[in-house]
A and B are shown apart, each in its own frame.
Chain A
Amino acid sequence: MTNLICITCPIGCALQAQLVDGKLTVTGHTCARGEEFARAELTNPMRTLCTTVRTNDPACPLLPVRTQGEIPKAAMMDVMRLLAGVTVTSPLTCGDVITSLAPICDGNVIATCDWPF
């Protein structure tokens, strides 16, 4: 039995989860998303990564970004290092793809606000 805190919503239910022969038992959840979260957490934990990338504007040197969906938790630092090499130079709208994460995992990184500000 593993104790987990569900991160899906602000309630943060305390879950007890167990995966035996591919069969999941969860208690403590108050919605279906909690069950999904527990399954992922016990097999392949996923996270949304929110961070920033550099811009070429010294007055506003950073643009906030996030992964479009969740990525494997274990890949977070690799994605951080990938994004450290990215610089935004042309105008973007909130939600535009900045880069693909192809070398590391599935998914894209998107802008979380319009740029230039």
Chain B
Amino acid sequence: MSNITRINRSLHKQFGGRFCVVPQQQHLSLQGESDNWHAIVQAGRLAAVLFKGEGGVVNDVHYIGEQAQPTRLPAVQDNTLDGQAPDVLVIGGGVIGCAIARELARYQMDVMLVEKECDVAMHASSRNDGMVHPGLDLKHKNTQKHHYNHRGNAMFKELCAELQVPFKRSGQYLCFPQPRWLLWAGKFRWNSHGIPSRFYNQKQLRRRLPHIHPALKCGMFFPTAGAVCPYTLTIAYAENAIENGVRVHLNTAVLGMDVHENKIIAVHTNRGTLKPKLVINAAGVFCEDIAAFAQDRFFSIHPRRGTNIILDTKFSKLMSRSASTLGTGAKEGYSKHTKGGGVIHTVHGNLLLGPNAVETIDKEDFATHAQDLRTVFGHQTKTSEALHPAQGITYFSGTRAATFEEDFVVRRGLYTKNIIHAAGMQSPGLTAAPAVAVDVAQWAADMLQAQPNEDFNPQRQGIVDATSLNNFARNTLIRQSPDYGIILCRCEQISKGEILAAMRRPLPCDSIDGIKRRVRAGMGRCQGGFCCPLITQVIADELGIPLDQVRKTGEGSELLCGEIKPT
């Protein structure tokens, strides 16, 4: 019985006659009609598990249910980029795209990165838990996820030192309600795969994590786990890329491509048509759409929404390190493709709870829902009962770019010659990014026969964090630049000097949220209640624009509606 017949038989058994697969050159097309998105996702997964081929399972099901919101596209339409012919065009300004752009700058190539949003790290790269994973998933150890996670994790210390991005290798606990003997086998396997781990019994665990749930009987500690700020890393990558000659164009969306004889010859954007020699697809949840433009669609994305909750820094003492719990039974709202996040100790000293996993058709489904919060709290209180919803200061949702294979797609094009995909990036995509970028850049250099760039400077000067300085150094800084002595964000103690510094970087930043993501102004417990008007004034003064043109994020997000005026 052929593989295809077997898949179709399984699909028939589980879904009636609703879905079938049809083999295409080297991938599998899932076909049928349905108004049930979850069923489509399940069918795709089923097919992906059984299919052994070069490509993956592609979702060609005619979906007749509630449609996704239209893709958010930049309003600007001009021809400022028309006719440009970079050697490499990177599509997508997430951590993957920016990391690749920076690694490409190590070679003598003309590199352009386009991002449809008004800033980099606007999607999954700013909507995750910032965990640098140790690589615990041994069930799927022959996956790209596992490979890149392992390599990426080892790169973080040096990378973050080069880019001046805060990183803490603070380790992670994995806690279990079962007694200890179950873990010996696991420990052996983790250690034998180069993932150091330590075993703790309940007493040892409680000494290290006094607020751990009493039902948890033992735990493993993984010292190689760490925490990084994901958007700071992305911005740092982008800035270092720009400093090394990469051109980054924001508000620039890829709208289509011309492909001739399996080669991309033109890329259409809202700023004109580009003629790159090589295209790199790092478009996150939109990577399938880019692959389709390139006539190289051999995988599909089913977005999976996750919600994270951030607690006030004053509750960070509840958990001195990140901790997750396994084996506490059914996890409603959590997929089996996540261990359910955990209680993460962020690099900024907050505790972060999350994320859950909810399948959604909408790639930009960043709305939060009360149910998601309840799910996340319900699950994370199994790690510690001391957690309480009132400790939260904010929460956010993001979407993971999951393929049916639940693995990364880091490879050259299957049908189209001049494209490299860095697609299907979901957790542990952040951990994997540095290693993925090195490989992709190497392949690109090989394809274009590029020579190393002798002038490449891997060092990036970060924005000074005045609160981290001792009094003497902080005093010296303020004497040089008094703006560093004017605190505007009281919760996070961010000065006017840091805010102005954020606006004067290689990558433009002119919005309230852009500043927030660079220097944390407005991220504290008042959520910008006090500092938002003050920062609005700073932005208006710095840019020389009226107050009512200051934006929260991108175009159309102006905070104010003009001067007060009685009617």
Q: Say if the two chains contact directly (CB < 8 Å).
A: yes
Residues of chain A having any CB pair with chain B under 8 Å? 52, 77, 80-81, 84
- A71 CB to nearest B CB, Å: 15
User: A80 contacts which chain B residues (CB < 8 A)?
Assistant: 566
Residues of chain B having any CB pair with chain A under 8 Å? 564-566
| In the bound complex, CA of A84 to CA of B565 (Å) | 7
- CB-based nearest B residue for A77: B566
| In the bound complex, CA of A69 to CA of B338 (Å) | 67
6 contacts between A and B (CB under 8 A): A52-B564, A77-B566, A80-B566, A81-B566, A84-B565, A84-B566
| In the bound complex, CA of A77 to CA of B565 (Å) | 11
| In the bound complex, CA of A84 to CA of B566 (Å) | 7
| In the bound complex, CA of A106 to CA of B565 (Å) | 23
User: A81 contacts which chain B residues (CB < 8 A)?
Assistant: 566
- CB-based nearest B residue for A80: B566
User: B565 contacts which chain A residues (CB < 8 A)?
Assistant: 84
- B566 CB to nearest A CB, Å: 4
- CB-based nearest A residue for B565: A84
User: A84 contacts which chain B residues (CB < 8 A)?
Assistant: 565-566
- CB-based nearest A residue for B547: A61
- CB-based nearest A residue for B537: A59
| In the bound complex, CA of A84 to CA of B563 (Å) | 11
5 residue pairs, one from A and one from B, having the closest CB atoms = A80-B566, A81-B566, A84-B566, A84-B565, A77-B566
- CB-based nearest B residue for A62: B564
| In the bound complex, CA of A52 to CA of B566 (Å) | 11
- A7 CB to nearest B CB, Å: 22
User: A52 contacts which chain B residues (CB < 8 A)?
Assistant: 564
- B466 CB to nearest A CB, Å: 24
| In the bound complex, CA of A100 to CA of B564 (Å) | 22
User: B566 contacts which chain A residues (CB < 8 A)?
Assistant: 77, 80-81, 84
User: B564 contacts which chain A residues (CB < 8 A)?
Assistant: 52
| In the bound complex, CA of A1 to CA of B380 (Å) | 59
| In the bound complex, CA of A52 to CA of B565 (Å) | 11
| In the bound complex, CA of A37 to CA of B375 (Å) | 54
- B545 CB to nearest A CB, Å: 13
| In the bound complex, CA of A80 to CA of B564 (Å) | 11
| In the bound complex, CA of A81 to CA of B564 (Å) | 11
User: A77 contacts which chain B residues (CB < 8 A)?
Assistant: 566
- A74 CB to nearest B CB, Å: 15
| In the bound complex, CA of A81 to CA of B565 (Å) | 8
- B544 CB to nearest A CB, Å: 12
| In the bound complex, CA of A48 to CA of B533 (Å) | 28
| In the bound complex, CA of A77 to CA of B567 (Å) | 8
- A61 CB to nearest B CB, Å: 9
| In the bound complex, CA of A84 to CA of B564 (Å) | 9
- A80 CB to nearest B CB, Å: 4
| In the bound complex, CA of A85 to CA of B403 (Å) | 62
- CB-based nearest B residue for A83: B566
- B368 CB to nearest A CB, Å: 36
| In the bound complex, CA of A80 to CA of B567 (Å) | 9
- A46 CB to nearest B CB, Å: 19
| In the bound complex, CA of A80 to CA of B565 (Å) | 9
- A60 CB to nearest B CB, Å: 11
- CB-based nearest B residue for A54: B563
| In the bound complex, CA of A80 to CA of B566 (Å) | 6
- CB-based nearest A residue for B566: A80
- CB-based nearest B residue for A51: B566
- B483 CB to nearest A CB, Å: 15
| In the bound complex, CA of A98 to CA of B565 (Å) | 19
